[in-house]
Amino acid sequence: MDFSPDHLKRYLTHKFGTPVEIKNVERFSRGTSRQTWFVDIRRNNADETLVFRTDLAAGSIEPSSLAQEHFMYERLGHTDVPIAKVLWWEEDPKWTDTPFYIRQKVEGSWNIPHFLDKDPKYDELRIAISKEHISKLAIVHKVDWKKLNFGERLPVPKDEASCGPNYVDAAMRQLEEVRGEGLPVMLEIAEWLKDTAPIAPRICLCKGTNGFGEEVFRGRQLVAMSDWEEASIGDPAADFAFMQYLAPELERDGKKIWGMQHALDYYHSVSGIKVTLEAVQFYGAIRAMRLLVMSEKAGQAVHTQPKLAEIRQAWTGTEVGYICKRGLIATMGLSDPPPAIALAELHETVEAPL
């Protein structure tokens, strides 16, 4: 897609059937899986911002397709889940050489001021944000995914006992599509996980990667859930394993005041669904498997299309893959886990240093 103001002006004027003025075009610096562009426009004497999503030039890091991501936003528009409204899908070669879709921008920020500030005076903020996020996850998990046909795109487990194996099989299928080398650790963990899979408390729509950096907050309110590319149908425990930072372990004066168990208890109180810590740990390994697939895909993009690949794909294809492999052998009790600092640093950015 050509994101030059001239091309965007021609395209959007054609699309809206009314003159459009391009005020600003900016690529969002966060996110590694796909490109996100904010395009500020003026039409009919009103300002608005459109969000464009498209794959990276060397292909998305995420194994699921852009079309699936668009599908998720379209379907979620029929639910109570807070999301940005999706506007349309475009693949007409007259306008673009790669497909993209457009959604509205929801005012707010991925950043939550002071959430990562270690000062205990922000504990109350951290707990409030955690509860807000968990309440919104509960809305996702209550979505009637059968009625809204989410199973058209997402693999559907046949019953509660099949949820875990379904995630394992999906990750292995994705690995086969992208792997550049033999990864025997994936075979070992797949077998181990199938042997130890928990039975899901119910089969839910799950968001996938969620939490800090993945949602839009305005003050203490979560106003839009974003980044649906890892959505699945399965065990709600998966979303607690895929959560970034928003169930922080807080201990003050020797007393645990918040943590994953508190988050699960709170989730039970708002959803009626009981998720166990053991199940969350199980899905932590599933998450590492999926990240390793992404790492492999990113590494292959650098290997086969080095002039098109982005620098972040090179990082994802190296350190991220190692961290996942290390985590997987630790899960099986074969070695030590990667150091906690390394895990924390994976989510650190120049904009939000630890």
Judged by the rule CB under 8 A, the positions of this chain that interact with other proteins are: 27, 29, 32, 180-185, 187-188, 191, 311-312, 314-315, 318-319, 322, 325-326, 329, 334-335, 339, 341-342, 345-346, 348-351, 353
- In angstroms, what is the minimal distance from the CB of 104 to other proteins? 23
- In angstroms, what is the minimal distance from the CB of 172 to other proteins? 10
Pick between residue 27 and residue 220 the one whose CB is nearest to other proteins.
Answer: 27
- In angstroms, what is the minimal distance from the CB of 94 to other proteins? 29
- In angstroms, what is the minimal distance from the CB of 139 to other proteins? 30
Is-contact 302 313, C-beta < 8 A?
yes
Pick between residue 125 and residue 329 the one whose CB is nearest to other proteins.
Answer: 329
Could you tell me which residues come within 8 angstroms of residue 292 by beta carbon, excluding any fewer than 6 positions away? 175, 183, 186, 321, 324, 325, 328
Pick between residue 85 and residue 303 the one whose CB is nearest to other proteins.
Answer: 303
Pick between residue 211 and residue 321 the one whose CB is nearest to other proteins.
Answer: 321
Pick between residue 46 and residue 350 the one whose CB is nearest to other proteins.
Answer: 350
Pick between residue 84 and residue 323 the one whose CB is nearest to other proteins.
Answer: 323
Residue among 163, 281, 287, 297 at smallest CA distance from 233: 163
- In angstroms, what is the minimal distance from the CB of 62 to other proteins? 16
Q: Quote the CA–CA distance of 170 and 184 in Å, as a whole number.
A: 17
Is-contact 258 248, C-beta < 8 A?
yes
Q: H helices of 305-354, where?
A: 311-315, 321-331, 340-345
- In angstroms, what is the minimal distance from the CB of 302 to other proteins? 10
DSSP 179-244: -SS--HHHHHHHHHHHHHPPPPSS-EEE--SEETTTEEEETTEEEEE---TT-EEE-THHHHHSEE
Pick between residue 22 and residue 183 the one whose CB is nearest to other proteins.
Answer: 183
Is-contact 168 191, C-beta < 8 A?
no
Q: Quote the CA–CA distance of 8 and 25 in Å, as a whole number.
A: 9
- In angstroms, what is the minimal distance from the CB of 289 to other proteins? 14
3-class DSSP assignment, residue 16: helix
